[in-house]
Structure 1
Amino acid sequence: MTPLPPAPPQVDPARWARLGRWLRLARMVLLWERLWPLLLPVLCVLGLFVAFALFDLAPRLSAWGHGAVLAVSVVAVVALLVRMAMRLRLPDWAAAARRLERDSGLKHRPLAVLGDRPAGSADPLAAALWHSHVDRALVALDRLRLSWPCSDMAARDPYGLRAGVLLILVIAASGGGDDAPRRLARALDVGSLGLAPDLVEVWLTPPPHTGRPPVTLRRDGAGNEPVAVPAGTAILAMVGGGWGDARLIQGGRTQSFQRQPDGSQKIETRLDRGGELVIRQSLFTVARWPVTVTADAVPSAAFSAPSEGDRRGRLHLAVSASDDYGLERVWVAIRRLGALDHDPVLEVALPLAGTTPREAELSGWFDLGAHPWAGMPVTLTPMVKDGAGQVSAGAAEVVTLPERQFVNPVAAAVIDARRALAEDADSLPEVADFLDRLLDEPQAVGGDLKTVLMLALSNRILLSENGFDLDEVRELLWQAALRIEDGDLSSAERALDAARKALEDALDRGADSQEIQALLDAFQQALERTLAAMTAKQGTPSQSAAGGGTVGADELHDMVDRLRDLASAGARDALRRELAQLNRILQGLQPGDGMGGNPAQQGLDALRDLARRQQRLLDDSHAQARAALPAEGEQAAEAQRELRRGLAEVRRQLAKDLGEAPNVLDEAERAMDGAAGLLEQEEWDAAAEAQAQAMASLNRAAREVLEQVGGSGQDAWGMVPRDPLGRPQRGPGDGDDGTTHVPERGDIQRSRQLLDEIRRRAGDGQRPEPERDYLRRLLRQF
């Protein structure tokens, strides 16, 4: 549009600007009056197509019919827009002035006067007349007004078709309601025309260790809430039909689908980043979904209680572990203090109850007394691994690995020979000579045939000319010492532990009920054998007695029967929990001395610690005697005197707890004093003999303490009697202490009844095959 002409000299600029606003408004009115007749046909066509979509007629037509409607609508709109562009003429200022003069009722065209100029000479009288004429025109312009736009559509559309289109559109909109956006999308969907795929299927499968179910994405998922999936989720997408090659876009990365023999397209990949998941084919966006990827957290593990050992060489470990999806393995890595990264590592596995729990509180006693590191400082590190293979380590702690303390002098001598053989290969003749002497007196080992055979085999291996396996001899000597010390108890405990682990492994791999029942039979036999061995060692009856509170065979059968009931009902998780609870009870076994938690325990532990320290001094003396090199005898003598002062303190503790300390400690004190004097003179052989006498006296003192307190029940020192499973004895009225949770027998029986009914229906040939197939698949869970 051309700009407004400049103001005449005699016209006030403010008045001319006001006149310009009126003229611009008049031009807009004229433009609308010219545009409306040309735009109305376009709007009618669009209105008809929107009504067609809101009536949801597109899905009811064939692909060709739908395409024809779309094509006709597009062609009509484009043609009418071209016609409108060709016929539309923009109004000029003169037309706007004529419209403004007509609507204002002005005569003699005063707006034209403002644009005119006088002709001829500059006569003063003519100029005055011209100025008077212009002033009259300006006065007339003060009454300007503009009418609303008018339309001649009644003449152009005498049948009122435009009103019919509007009525149809209103009816369609009222019927569409909330489904209107989806109906419009279906009307514009080119998929039904063969240009976009008619089949789009996408599955998101999380990693197996997460335990999360697969997610199916719907094609109309745009605008939905983001789908949250774990990292590493697998994508399987299928596209069928359409025109062109399909592409998958995730996080800015584009991947192409692969053509299949049947003409469809497929892609398998992994979702490694969040954002929008988009499928495009040719020029069209087929579908899109917002996706959030959750990273797999690193598992954590920590000691929940300080690690400690006992006098049987067992180490108590308590670890708490957690992971966002589930734990696969928990263990404790044991390294010698100061060891390098490539040095050997001892791993102690902590069994998990159930399959991949997210949180676990694990604890147990582990027999490490036979390990070469027993008695040495080590570093314990809790370790955990999740299903994704991520391994994490908790805070480490330093402890002294416990070693088994043997009270029986013959067993202690066998262990000394085992230690000497491991520390010095030159001691082989001495060890072989010791075994010869021991085999000459079978009554020293109680006449036990298995013990004699193990000792004889060890001696035969040592004397073999072809060399020997040190680990094999160590294991034989260790098992012989255990049988001398505990009889059949150690072997029974190992069999019980093996039976328990076999049962746990069967539960983890989903073994059938028949195998579970067989393993429960083996577990019960091993448990009864362990109890019998403990009873023989303690000299207490295993049957329940009135008021005695001991655990008898009946109670053991009840415990295992509850496990059988859970196995029959298919309650695998409950069975795991019950087995773990029973294992915690069994780990509290305290055979042999019956000490429990009495006050004499402190003095006895101190006495055993003195024996261990004395043994180390004795080993040092033997080493110095064989080396025949100059050494610091004064330093060794001071260590022996320090041990002598410790013995005096232990003697006072035992006298306080027991009323009187064993007299054999006098001999130990004299032997220690003599050894200290000989060490000052560097008489290593003589000092070693004196230290050996002190060791023998300490061992006899320990046995006397055990014999003095072993037969007592509730005595003057406040000792609480314990049953063979290490639990405090209770009277008939004490009831359960609440620490053991067992499912109600009625619930178990009801579960068994339901399971039997499912089996019966699955075997009923009169029932429909789909129902029987479902029941058979249901039975596989049990």
Structure 2
Amino acid sequence: MAPGHGPDPALRSLRLPLALTRAGMLAEHVLRAFWPLFSVLMLALAVLMLGLHDMVSVEVVWGGAVLAALGLLVSLVWGIRTFHWPTRAQALARLDETLPGRPIQALMDRQAIGATDAASAAVWQAHQARMAARAASARPVRPDLRISRADPFALRYVATLALAVALIFGSVWRVGSVAEMTPGGAQAASGPTWEGWIEPPRYTGKPTIYLADIPGDRLDIPQGSRITLRFYGEVGALTLAETVSGRIGALPPASEVAQEFDVVQNGEIRIDGPGGKSWEVAVVPDAAPQVSVTGAPQAEAMGTMTLPFTASDDYGVVAGSATIAIDLSEVDRRYGLTTEPDQREPITVQLPMPIAGDRSAFTEKLIEDFSEHPWANLPVTFTLDVQDAAGQTGQGEVFKATLPGRRFFDPLAASVIEQRRDLLWARGNAHRVSQLLKAVSYKPEGVFRSETAYLRMRVILRRLDALSRGGLKAEHQEELGKALWDLAVLLEDGDLSDALERLRRAQERLTEAMKNGASDQEIAELMQELRRATDDYIRQLSRQAQSDPQNGADQPNSGQNQNSMQMSQNDLQKMMDRIQELMEQGRMAEAQQALEELQQLMENMRVTQGQGGGQSQGQQAMEGLADTLRNQQGLSDEAFRDLQEQFNPGANSGESQGNQGRNGGQGRGRSHEGQGGQGEAQNDGEGQPGGGQGQDLKGSLADRQQALRQELNRQQGNLPGQGTPEGDAARDALGRAGRAMDDAEQSLRQDDLAGAIDNQSEAMEALREGMRALGEALAQDQQQQPGQGNAEGEQRARNRDPLGRNAGSNGSIGTEENLLQGEDVYRRARELLDEIRRRSGDTSRPQIELDYLKRLLDRF
């Protein structure tokens, strides 16, 4: 059998696969023959598009052009010689190679023997039919475009990468600039042309502008912008005329090829010559910065001053300062202030600037402590200055106010501070101050609470008398002022080593504050000090009861009778909360009476153990942290609800879908029903927009966040386990929680609810970590405590149920003790809650079990 000639009808179905296969073979032959030509062409285009020819001399450009032309010619000749057109027979052969049994070749064959034999012809036709069926399943053959053998160094990829870089960082229009290097083109390029740029001052943040791209003939340029012009072509063909720089004296020629000048005034810029242009320039002036005091300075109980101010500038404020000077016209010139004061330089402090964000308009607070300055609590003037990046300064109006300082409520301490003020006012008051202090300390009995304070007073008086004989100098004046300040602080704070004395001093200071009309901030800090002193006193009583259990029985007031009463830590806190609430409402008489009752209770207090069912310090700390965590969760829920209502104003009172609080209902989250801050937040109207109180919600949330932060500070001071790794870890975690609460408060005051929610989440996570660490510390401390005897331990072990709980009293099953002694109870509780949620989502469980799990979730 031999292959036939001409088209075979059986191969008509292979037209499309055969054509595609042949096209692929054509691509193979073109690529293998002309890849050097393509590589040289791409490399030449990349060089031109990147503008490398503009960076070298004309000779190098012409040399490169000759090499590129030779390379193109050689690669073209080589490609033509190696290229051959794929034939139809070659395409059929490649397609036939992919089919089993070579059916295409079989279809092209003719029967050479037995064609006249009917049986042989039938066999041949059956064979042809099978081959036709196989050929019908033919698919186009993919071309083999790999030419790694012909290009072992991958030069084609180098050329491709160069072209890609040129397309990204170069320009197609640069290819035409090579024509300027021809003899005719050089003459054309020498024609007069120009280009220029406007560069505004860097502090404005505005971009550089290309002059040729500006439409129209008017320019609005920031003051101080720099204009750069370049002239090309024949020197003198283009000239510059401008009236915006205000330059005088020796000026560069108008035909100078490079011109640079700053815009300082309105005027005109004109380029005369072929292709020239003119612009009317209007200078945008740089306004001077502005600053003003937005409120009277506020003082904390310890004397720290907070002065709010606002500053603004069109391009941003870079620095500022505050100058404080004595206002003699407003000083009450009586007693020691009748003498002419010594000359003192005004106080100058730097104003705080925002760390990040826009400084074009901002509000900040100047926080400084001037309690020890001679001008403390005297009339002064505040003068604020700010500066912008251009060096311009702006000064606010003079603000008159009293320079805040620490207030002393102890009468003896207040008198010492007054004499210190007179001594620092003028050195001529030294004799008068000495006489008054001698009169105050003439009979120390009943006046000085401690011998230390009295002895310090006598030392200061002897030193003052000795230095006054030869004339008091400035350095001696400062030395005595420092000694008098330390003495006043000692008289005000008392001896803090004695817890009871500290408690009495805190109560007396609070009483004096109420009598003298202290501010709310001072009352709040004094109440905080009273809380700390009360906690210290209770801890001292507890340690005394543990070290000497029989000591309490010997005390006259220690026995329990029918008139005695039991109080817990929470009861004391509620009493102090009530006192603070009365003072904030201005009901000072009732607050004074409640404070006296609290003082009597504390004097007669005795810590009970065993029968009293009192809680340990660790349990109280754990309960307090749990309350703080719940309160923080409530504030976060309410902030999230308010954030939802900002984006959905129609969600009145939280009634929109998906806007239910933690406890469900109409937006009443945990914070609506729980405690906020130190006491209970009765939030029936104040927490909702348009509530009955009508107060600002954001301010309310921020104040409650601040109160919660103060409560956490109090709890940190009472945290047990100090010195142990677990206790230190708990303190570190609570420190992080406190910082997150501070950030949340600032975000709430700035109306940044989203940022406040993030900070509150961080605070809650840190609180949970602190509670876990505290639980580990308490468990370890419990394990290290010695038992009360083997017999008692065995008896308690026999009374425990299979879950490890002690038998309850009065026949009850179990007690309220922790189920897991010595383990991380909070971690275990979280795991149990997760397991309950997982099971409640399993629909394959019985319905009665799912109902039970749902009730558990609703309860907990």
TM interval, short-chain normalised: 0.3 to 0.5
TM-score by length of structure 1 reads 0.36
**Rg larger for:** 1
Q: Which structure is richer in relative contact order (CA contacts within 8 A, separation 6 or more)?
A: 1
TM-score by length of structure 2 reads 0.33
